[in-house]
């Protein structure tokens, strides 16, 4: 057993975010891109082998679009 984490949660920088996971996995890594075009290109590159979840755009530490994340699978 260890002590509980005391580090505060990090806020997201301004940009567009996608989450990349292995198929069937619950967790993955979050990637940030500066523009929506770059984010969509990255999502297309990874969707052949990975599960891609488009998280959306973050501005000033808050999500711009409150829609549910869009899941892309190959």
Using only the alpha carbons of the chain, give its radius of gyration.
14
Query: b vs e for 30-41, b when ≥16 Cβ sit within 10 Å of the residue's Cβ?
Result: ebbbeeeeebee
More confident of the two residues 22 and 2 = 22
pTM, to two decimals: 0.76
Residue 1 lies in a domain: no
Residue 9 lies in a domain: no
The whole-angstrom distance between residue 55's C-alpha and the CA centroid of its chain comes to 5
Residue 30 lies in a domain: yes
Cβ contact 16:38 at 8 Å: yes
Residue 10 lies in a domain: no
| Number of domains, the chain | 1
Digit-coded pLDDT (tens) for 29-68: 999 999 999 999 999 999 999 999 999 999 988 888 666 5
């Amino acid at each position: 057993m260890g002590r509980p984490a005391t580090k505060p949660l990090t806020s997201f920088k301004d940009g567009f975010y996608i989450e990349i996971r292995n198929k069937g996995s619950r967790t993955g890594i979050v990637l940030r891109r500066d523009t929506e075009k770059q984010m969509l290109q990255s999502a297309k590159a990874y969707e052949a082998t990975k599960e891609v979840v488009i998280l959306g755009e973050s501005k000033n530490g808050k999500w711009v679009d409150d829609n549910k994340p869009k899941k892309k699978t190959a």
